[in-house]
Amino acid sequence: MESLLLVENLKMYYHTSKGAVRAIDDISFNLYPGETIGLAGESGCGKTSLGTSLLRMPTPPGRYEGGRILINGTDILPMADKDVRKKVRWTQIAMVFQGAMNCLTPVYTIGRQMMETLQEHQTMEKNEAEELIKEYLNHVGLPAEVMNRYPHELSGGMKQRVIIATALFLKPKLVILDEPTTALDVIVQAQIINLLKKLKQQFDLSFIFITHDLALEAEVSDRMCVMYAGKIVELGSNEQIYGKQGPAHPYTEKLLLATPRLHQEVENLQYIPGTPPDLINPPKGCRFNPRCHRVMDICREEEPPLVEIESGHFVACWHCKGGK
């Protein structure tokens, strides 16, 4: 099966007065049609930066330093901005950003904001556009009258549904979901997740699901991608990472041990001492080595490559390779 998305050696740095922050540093992975990849890791590890980079809209002062982003076989990095806006962004790849209220202008109605997005990419009569907006509001479980409301008149869950509808009505095949259930209560979270599952089947979508919640990631995703300090440290199927054998990378291991388990007693939740590194001057060797409980001499000197330890299971760790 050919990849819907192929990322090769992608680098995106934030250039500041103190130096370059290596937010995305030589990342490679692929995504197949109809698949969901969960993107996990601590705050500041580069998950959202990767999402906006894939959309060809890194937050300033971010700049691409190398690599390729191929969507349906076409590298979008060399494309002109106007071509990306018209031919790629929202039509082939879309993003549901974290914090729905931040994506909605408070002085415009929902219908007007959705109309602007639609008219930027397609030419159609106003009546036809309004019917399409109503159709997609219905797809996400909202009545047509929501078109005439302002953002402050909607609940958090309703605003999140509006953002999902806006991301979908240009019919992209790949949607990046940046913590879509953050700040929602557990009931609304469940409703949004069930909605996303239904929409994935209905529109044959592929998802990149960014989250801190590993239990939620296990529920939604087919494969799990763990990031640390701007790099992928482990990538594999949910069976490989959550199964009896468990994760291969010490960082993934600690993340899972810090998650409460429903069906087993946990006397003390584990944690990872220290904090993520400064990405202007990251540690020599493995970036996780100052916090790792399995650190070896080679970890402090040489950066481990991302290698396949079994079919479809990739890990960047000297411990998994036997060390020196």
Tell me how far apart the alpha carbons of residues 103 and 95 are, in angstroms, rounded to a whole number: 11
Banded pLDDT at 99 (limits 50, 70, 90): confident
| Alpha helices (H) in the chain, listed in sequence order | 47-54, 81-87, 110-121, 126-139, 156-168, 186-203, 214-220, 238-242, 250-257
CATH class of 5-92+172-274: alpha beta
Picking from 127, 195, 205, the residue whose alpha carbon sits closest to that of residue 170 is 205
- This prediction's pTM: 0.93
- Provide mean pLDDT across the span 15-24: 96
Query: Please, which pLDDT band fits residue 206 given cuts at 50, 70 and 90?
Result: very high
Domains of the chain, by residue range, sit at 5-92+172-274
CB 162 within 8 A of CB 125: no
Cα separation, 233 vs 228, whole angstroms: 6
Q: What is the mean pLDDT of residues 160-181?
A: 93
Q: How far apart are CA 4 and CA 173, in angstroms?
A: 8
Q: Give residue 323's pLDDT.
A: 46
Buried b (16+ CB within 10 A) or exposed e, 159-192: bbbbbbbbbbbbebbbbbbbbbbbebeeebbebb
pLDDT of 324: 45
Paired tokens of 261: 């388990």
